[in-house]
């Protein structure tokens, strides 16, 4: 008699029996769900697994399609492996690095011994489609870490050798696609035939891997022009190569040899140099016919905008200017007048949560020499209160900081030559290895989890629950205007995930397994496990990271 197990499907709240050892794909077919965009992966007791995962005990299972962020990661990883095989087939001595998300896709640096032409891109795309059409299965294997490292050493994949050797694990895994071998820190699709929508186009000196829209997977994401963002990423990668730390394997090696102190000093110095250069540029503009009257600083949640504005103010003062910081949050409408989202909740991410008329009038009065009474928003009462009087005098410059600072509706009556716009974001500076990038949103989410827990009494569960809403607000109100910036500043630090790790892991462990947020907490903990932790004692009190960890010398 065949032993059976009980599976509770969260998609339809139906329970059914299946033979022990059934794969998730077999269970999906057994429930006849027929998801319109196809199945990609599944949560098993709130942990994301690939569809080849076999079940041996009673479980709760929720099947995911590409409208889910975690399933999209599975889809993109699988597409990356297809590209890996196509490059290996066409260019045996070629290589590529999946560098960073840009223009609603993934920028890939392709190395084939010469400049990439349109014909190369077309050949590569055609070979990838052939691999997809052949419906080749992805296979996962486990072996002693030393054997896995030796396998990648034979393949010339030193980035993966350093990574697996530094994990401290007895066993490690790897994937195969035909004869191609690669490493991915998350699950893959069952086979290449599960990939339906994608594209590959030439993009500057590399290629852009295009992926489906999460909102409508039948369409590809639109290519958004992001020249400035691409240059910031490239500048970061150049500095990483100069320092000799391009991925987590490199970092762990440096940390194990005791060189983290130098890494911290150099990383902090690079950021200070960048801030100083921005201050110098503002000063130079002030020597011309038109003076910069206001500096607008924008960026998504947990980018370190506040500390950046304070450090910029110090550099501006060193140039003989008198900065005066103003937070746009103080111009929130009273709570009862705040617009609501589609769920009926207050939409604090909306531009129209600000009293734009009041703000623009005060700004106009200040710039014409009038004295105004600045507001201060009381977040406890949800009311705007009077704070202090301000009148601008010679050499004073307003520093306006807030998520909407680059929106054209803000300060629209001020001539462009009197404004200097800065976009700040934590654009993760390090990759896991050449084919596994660490999402920039993970960097910011970890910062926010730590800050919310330390200073706002929010659990990781609460922060993770709010994060999708925060991300939707960023997509709507912040990211469309980032290319309006005169300067972009990457607030991520090369070493920061290694410092955040020791603080974040205990907070993440408190998320209970029976809540939906456990899946994200588990994933974040898993990728942090690859990184060697380092103590925070050598981080200076002026560091951007101190805004989240505590111990900053700036007042907030």
Task: Out of 224, 254, 271, pick the residue that ends a domain.
Answer: 224
3-state secondary structure of 215: coil
Confidence at residue 287, expressed as pLDDT on a 0 to 100 scale? 83
Q: Is 289 a residue whose pLDDT tops 90?
A: no
pLDDT of residue 125: 98
For a pLDDT cut of 70, what percent of the chain falls above it? 100
Q: How many residues does the chain have?
A: 556
pLDDT of 241 higher than 90:
no
In a domain, 292, yes or no: yes
Judgement on whether residues 143 and 173 belong to the same structural domain of the protein: yes
| Same-domain pairing of 201 and 257 | no
What lies within 8 Å, CB to CB, of 371 at 6+ separation is 365, 389, 390, 391
Is 57 part of a structural domain of the chain? yes
Confidence of residue 188 (pLDDT cuts 50, 70, 90): very high
Cβ neighbours of residue 18 under 8 Å, at least 6 residues apart? 4, 5, 7, 26, 27, 30, 55
pLDDT tens digit sequence for 480-539: 999 999 999 999 999 999 999 999 999 999 999 999 999 999 999 999 999 999 999 999
Q: Are residues 60 and 162 in the same domain?
A: no
Please identify which residue in the block is written with the tokens 């076999």. 54
Percent of the chain predicted with pLDDT > 90: 84
200, 316: one domain: no
pLDDT > 80? residue 290:
no
pLDDT at 485: 96
DSSP-based three-state secondary structure for 102: strand
User: Do residue 247 and residue 201 come from a single domain?
Assistant: no
**DSSP E strand stretches across 441-547:** 487-490
Rounded Cα gap, residues 412 and 398, in angstroms: 15
| Structural domain containing residue 56 | 4-65
> Are residue 61 and residue 75 in the same domain, yes or no?
no
pLDDT score for 57: 95
Mean pLDDT of the chain: 93
Residue 288's pLDDT band (cuts 50, 70, 90):
confident
10 shares its domain with 110:
no
555 belongs to a structural domain? no
1 pLDDT more than 80: no
Q: What is the DSSP letter of 217?
A: T
B/e letters for 422-456, b = 16+ CB within 10 Å, e = fewer, are bbbbbbbbbbbbbbbbbebbbbbbbbbbbbbbeee
Q: How far apart are CA 103 and CA 119, in angstroms?
A: 22
Q: Of the residues 224, 251, 268, which one is the last residue of a structural domain? A: 224
Structural domain tally of the chain? 3
33-43 confidence digits (pLDDT tens): 989 999 999 99
Question: Are both 24 and 103 inside the same structural domain?
Answer: no
Q: Which of 228-237, 298-307, 339-348 shows the lowest mean pLDDT across its residues? A: 339-348
The predicted pLDDT at position 2 comes to: 65
pLDDT band at 243 (very low <50, low <70, confident <90, very high): confident
CATH code for position 56? 3.10.20.30
Q: Is residue 214 part of a domain?
A: yes
CA 541 vs CA 208, 268, 285, 305, 392: distances in Å: 39, 11, 30, 16, 30
CATH number of the domain to which 113 belongs: 3.30.980.10
Same-domain check for residues 183 and 252 = no
> How many CB atoms within 10 Å of residue 114?
7
Q: Is residue 386 in a domain?
A: yes
Average pLDDT over residues 361-377: 93
Between CA 371 and CA 377, with CA 373 as vertex, the angle to 5 degrees is: 150
pLDDT category at 244 given cuts 50, 70, 90 is confident
132 domain-assigned? yes
Q: Domain holding 438: CATH number?
A: 3.40.50.300
Cα(3)–Cα(442) distance, integer angstroms: 41
Do 240 and 162 belong to one domain? no
Instruction: Please say if the pLDDT value at position 428 is more than 90.
Output: no
The C-alpha atoms of residue 26 and residue 39 are separated, in whole angstroms, by 12
Which of 46, 65, 84 is the last residue before a domain boundary?
A: 65
pLDDT band at 106 (very low <50, low <70, confident <90, very high): very high
- Give the model confidence (pLDDT) of 446-493 as tens digits: 999 999 999 989 999 999 999 998 998 899 999 999 999 999 999 999
My answer on whether 391 and 344 are in the same domain is: yes
Shared domain for 380 and 463, answered yes or no, is yes
- Confirm whether 554 is domain-assigned: no
The H or E element spanning position 73 is: helix 69-90
| pLDDT exceeds cutoff 60 at 295 | yes
How far, rounded to the nearest angstrom, does the alpha carbon of residue 494 sit from its chain's CA centroid? 14
pLDDT score of 316 more than 90: yes
Strands 487-490 and 419-425: parallel
Q: Which pLDDT value is given to residue 387?
A: 87
368 located within any domain: yes
The pLDDT of residue 395 is 84
């Amino acid at each position: 008699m065949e032993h059976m197990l009980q599976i509770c499907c969260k998609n339809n709240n139906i329970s059914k029996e299946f033979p022990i050892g059934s794969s998730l794909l077999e269970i999906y077919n057994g429930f006849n769900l027929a998801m319109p965009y196809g199945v990609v992966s599944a949560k098993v007791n709130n942990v994301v697994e690939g569809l080849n995962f076999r079940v041996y005990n009673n479980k709760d299972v929720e099947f995911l399609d590409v409208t889910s962020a975690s399933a999209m990661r599975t889809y993109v990883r699988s597409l990356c492996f297809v590209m890996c095989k196509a490059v290996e087939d066409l260019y045996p001595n070629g290589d590529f690095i999946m560098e960073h998300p840009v223009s609603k896709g993934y920028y890939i640096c392709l190395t084939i011994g010469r400049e990439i032409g349109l014909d190369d891109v077309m050949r590569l795309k055609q070979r990838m489609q052939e691999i997809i059409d052949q419906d080749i299965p992805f296979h996962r294997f486990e072996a002693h870490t030393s054997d896995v490292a030796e396998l990648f050493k034979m393949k010339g994949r030193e980035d993966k050798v350093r990574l697996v050797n530094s994990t401290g694990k007895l066993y490690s895994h790897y994937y195969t696609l035909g004869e191609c071998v690669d490493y991915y820190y998350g699950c893959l699709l069952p086979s290449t035939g599960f990939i339906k929508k994608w594209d590959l186009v030439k993009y500057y000196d590399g290629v852009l891997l295009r992926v489906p829209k999460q909102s409508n997977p039948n369409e590809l994401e639109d290519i958004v022009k992001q020249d400035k963002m691409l240059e910031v990423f490239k500048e970061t990668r150049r500095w990483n190569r100069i320092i000799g730390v391009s991925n987590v394997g490199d970092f762990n090696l440096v940390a194990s040899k005791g060189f983290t102190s130098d890494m911290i000093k150099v990383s902090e110095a690079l950021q200070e140099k960048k801030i100083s250069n921005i201050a110098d540029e503002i000063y130079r503009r002030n020597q011309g016919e038109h003076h910069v009257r206001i500096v607008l600083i924008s960026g998504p949640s947990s980018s370190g905008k506040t500390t950046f504005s304070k450090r910029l103010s110090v550099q501006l003062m060193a140039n003989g200017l008198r900065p005066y910081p103003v937070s746009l949050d103080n111009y929130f409408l009273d709570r009862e007048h705040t617009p609501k989202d589609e769920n009926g909740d207050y939409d604090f991410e909306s531009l129209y949560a600000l009293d734009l008329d009041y703000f623009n009038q005060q700004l106009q009065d200040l710039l014409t020499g009038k004295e105004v009474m600045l507001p201060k928003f009381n977040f406890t009462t949800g009311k705007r209160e009077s704070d202090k009087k301000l009148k601008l005098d010679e050499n004073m410059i307003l520093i306006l900081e807030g998520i909407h600072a680059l929106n054209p509706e803000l300060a629209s009556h001020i001539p462009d030559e009197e404004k200097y716009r800065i976009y700040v974001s934590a654009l993760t500076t390090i990759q896991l290895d050449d084919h596994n990038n660490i999402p920039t949103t993970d960097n910011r989410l970890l910062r926010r989890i730590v800050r919310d827990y330390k200073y706002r009494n929010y659990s990781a569960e609460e922060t993770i629950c709010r994060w999708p809403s925060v991300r939707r607000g960023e997509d709507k109100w912040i990211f469309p205007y980032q290319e309006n910036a005169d300067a972009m500043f990457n607030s991520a630090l090369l070493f920061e995930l290694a410092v955040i790790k020791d603080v974040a892991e205990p907070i993440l462990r408190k998320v209970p397994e029976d809540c939906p947020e456990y899946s994200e907490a588990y994933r974040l903990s898993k990728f942090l496990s690859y990184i060697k932790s380092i103590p925070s004692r050598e981080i200076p009190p002026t560091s951007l990271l101190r805004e989240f960890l505590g111990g900053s010398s700036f007042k907030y």
